[in-house]
Amino acid sequence: MTRRRWIATEFDEETATLSGDQANHLIRVLRAEPGMRADVVAGERVFQAVIEHVAEASVRFRLEQEVARDDSLPVELLLAIFKFDRMEWAIEKAVELGAGTIVPVIARRTEKHLAQAATARVDRWRRIALEAAKQSRSSSVPEIAAPCHLSEALATRRSADRLRIVLSEHEKIMTLTRCIANVKPGQEKLSLATGPEGGWSSEEVALFSESGWTAASLGPRILRAETAAIASLALVSGLLGKPSFR
Ligand code: SAM
């Protein structure tokens, strides 16, 4: 049976301590007790570990043998905000597929009430992402950035050290698979952007192009926003997940 994996909030060379939601789950649902074993991520390293003390709201592990890391991919997903139930599903699956960073983006066609409520949702999205990372046995803590407007997101991603791809149902020539096949050495970092339910506006399409993003298609069908996000990550993880890209 695979061992559970926890991400420690505090640690030193010999011990790691869980608190907050993870400790709560471990204590009250899994009935933590000294001697139980798990894997624990302690900063940059992952260890086999054994519980040595259970308190009211924290669990301390003794760290034993170090094990290999399995980090998320150098991929960030700019996810235009859409209905929160489906957005949560997309965040969970994106992290399972290896996205290291998710940036919730307010696009021209993001519904107004969702844009207004997004900031208050970030903590929940972070919890969902952390659970998905643990569940998929990633040793990285995924980053869920604060929601921002598309123009701001593009302005801070002008560097050519990363391949930047905007998924567009209007692109008829370039496919995502071809785009990824063109990844050059030293350019393994990747940004992917998927639009809201109403799609990108023509001004946004122009802004992506001026900012050096390549438009790519996922085929002739119009996919829902969450399907496009997951399908694109499944494709890139097939290539970027290879050890030569780590
Ligand atoms: N504007 C479209 C419409 O209503 O006809 C639908 C937009 S789609 C629901 C949401 C987002 O998913 C798009 O902005 C795009 O990023 C992505 N997407 C959907 N289908 C796609 C495809 N076939 N190729 C690439 N991206 C796609």
Residue-range domain boundaries for the chain:
5-67, 75-245
Q: What is the mean pLDDT of residues 10-19?
A: 95
* 243, pLDDT greater than 50: no
Q: At 158, is the pLDDT very low, low, confident or very high (cuts 50, 70, 90)? A: confident
pLDDT above 70 as % of the chain: 94
Distances (CA, A) of 213 to 40, 41, 70, 234: 38, 35, 29, 20
- How much is the pLDDT for 186? 57
Do 5-67 and 75-245 share a fold?
Answer: no
CA nearest to 229, candidates 128, 127, 118, 105? 105
Taking the C-alpha atoms of residue 164 and residue 169, their distance in angstroms, rounded to an integer, is 16
User: In this structure, what token pair is assigned to residue 56?
Assistant: 């009211």
Whether residue 172 has its Cβ less than 6 Å from ligand 1: no
**Residue 136's pLDDT band (boundaries 50, 70, 90)?**
confident
Q: Give the pair of three-digit tokens for residue 38.
A: 């798990």
Question: What is the mean predicted confidence (pLDDT) over 25-37?
Answer: 94
- pLDDT of 201 reads 97
pLDDT of residue 245: 45
For a mutational test of ligand 1's pocket, the pick from 168, 174, 177, i.e. the residue with the most ligand atoms closer than 8 A to its C-beta, is 168
Cα(87) to centroid(ligand 1), Å: 15
Residue 244 has pLDDT above 50, yes or no: no
Rounded CA gap, 217 and 221, in Å? 9
User: Quick one: which atom of ligand 1 is closest to the CA of 194?
Assistant: 16
Mean of all residue pLDDT scores within the chain:
91
Q: Is residue 70 within 8 Å of residue 136, measured between CB atoms?
A: no
Q: How confident is the model at residue 2 (pLDDT cuts 50, 70, 90)?
A: low
pLDDT per residue as tens digits for the range 180-226: 886 765 566 899 999 999 999 999 999 999 999 999 999 999 999 99
CA of 9 to the centre of ligand 1 (A): 39
Give the 3-state secondary structure of the chain.
CCCCEEECCEECCCEEEEEHHHHHHHHHHCCCCCCCEEEEEECCEEEEEEEEEECCCEEEEEEEEEECCCCCEEEEEEEECCCHHHHHHHHHHHHHCCEEEEEEEECCCCCHHHHHHHHHHHHHHHHHHHHHHHHCCCCCCCEECCCEEHHHHHHCCCCCCEEEEEECCCCCCCEHHHHHHCCCCCCEEEEEEECCCCCCCHHHHHHHHHCCCEEEECCCCCCCHHHHHHHHHHHHHHHHCCHHHC
CATH of domain 5-67: 2.40.240.20
| pLDDT tens by residue, 57-105 | 999 999 999 988 877 888 999 999 999 999 999 999 999 999 999 999 9
Question: What pLDDT score was predicted for residue 141?
Answer: 81
Give the pLDDT score at 173. Answer: 94
Q: How far is the CA of 216 from the centre of ligand 1 (A)?
A: 11
Mean per-residue pLDDT for 122-128?
Answer: 96
What pLDDT is attached to residue 137? 83
By most ligand atoms within 8 Å of CB, the mutation choice from 106, 166, 168, 169 for ligand 1 is 169
Say if residue 242's pLDDT is above 60. no
Lowest mean pLDDT, pick from 63-72, 105-114, 148-157, 164-173: 63-72
Q: In this structure, are residues 79 and 194 in contact, taking their beta carbons and an 8 Å threshold?
A: yes
The per-residue pLDDT for 246 is 43
Q: What CATH architecture does domain 75-245 belong to?
A: 3-Layer(aba) Sandwich (3.40)
List beta partners, residue 217. Answer: 175
Predicted pLDDT of residue 68: 85
